[in-house]
Amino acid sequence: MSPMITSILILSLATGTIITMASFHWLLAWMGLELNTLAILPIISKSHHPRATEASTKYFLTQAAASALILFSSVMNAQATGQWGILQLEDPLAQTLLTMALAMKLGLAPAHFWLPEVLQGTSFKTGLIIITWQKLAPMALLLLTWNQASMLTLTMMGSLSVIVGGLGGLNQTQLRKIIAFSSIAHLGWMATIITKSNKLALLNLTMYILISTPMMLSLIFSSTKTTQDLTTSAPSPILAPLT
């Protein structure tokens, strides 16, 4: 992939996220999410490997279904209230559907199955974008609508995500899958915390990104892909008892 195309895709990623975070209209937020999804697909499949193609297909289908559900819930809310504003989410069914759609975009359980598979089929650099930057736009919508979202749905999906993320990474040897289940668990805590305080959830998101980014960069620089590689890439055998 040429540097110009890569720059355009990265700019499109940033633009889509900024549009979603700055919008107060559901159609603009949906457009930003779609731009975000379409920009990441060539980045996932740029290696032209069958696993990368499979990962990009799974990512596209999941994100497209979640975006369609967001659009459907916003139309339902507009029919019930006559308002397209993000802060005017008053229809109970629309609130539940929107919460489920944002949870699917984030990778919360039980709609978490795509995240480990997508991360396993792509590179660490792209995985870093998926687990950090791609979470900003859905989390921004969740933070905007935290007092109007379905608290019961968020609490149940968040609690289930903590359990699934904690147990799912125990029997894994691939570091990308371990990171994916760790991301599911962290997002589960964010979804649970956001029902009490959106500021605390924002702090949790910031800490998650600040922790995940240097960890992924260290794995990229050391070319470490499995837990077995940790024993050979480390300058001292201190990590050997952990694998």
Task: Write the DSSP symbol of residue 125.
Answer: H
Q: Exposed (0-12), middle (13-18) or buried (19+): which is 184, by Cβ within 10 Å?
A: buried
| Domain assignment present for 242 | no
Instruction: Please count the CA atoms within 13 angstroms of the CA of 51 that sit on its side-chain side.
Output: 8
Tokens at residue 151, please?
Answer: 């608290």
pLDDT at 242: 45
Note whether residue 19 is domain-resident.
yes
Give residue 163's domain range: 3-231
| Residue 233 pLDDT | 57
Residues 6+ apart with CB under 8 A from 65: 104
**110-143 pLDDT per residue, tens:** 888 899 999 988 888 999 999 999 999 999 998 8
**Percent of the chain predicted with pLDDT > 70:** 94
- Residue where the block lists tokens 């029919």: 79
Query: Which residue shows structure tokens 């559900």?
Result: 69
CA 125 – CA 220 distance, rounded (Å): 7
Does a structural domain hold residue 188? yes
User: What tens digit of pLDDT does each residue of 165-202 get?
Assistant: 989 888 888 888 999 999 999 999 999 998 888 889 99
| Residue 236 forms part of a structural domain | no
Give yes or no for a contact between 180 and 143, defined as CB atoms under 8 angstroms apart.
no
Residue 221: pLDDT band (50, 70, 90) is confident
199-211 pLDDT, tens digit each? 899 999 999 999 9
Percent of the chain at pLDDT > 90 equals 46
Token pair 């107060």: residue: 24
List the structure tokens of 16: 């889509």
Domain-located, residue 36? yes
Identify whether 155 is part of a domain. yes
How many domains, the chain?
1
Q: Give counts: helices (H), strands (E), the chain.
A: 11, 0
> Looking at the domain assignment, is residue 72 inside a domain?
yes
Q: What's residue 235's pLDDT?
A: 54
**Chain segment 35-71, per-residue pLDDT in tens:** 999 999 999 988 778 888 999 999 999 999 999 999 9
Cis peptide before 138 (omega within 30 of 0): no
Give a yes or no: residue 239 inside a domain.
Answer: no
Query: 24 falls in which pLDDT band (50, 70, 90)?
Result: confident
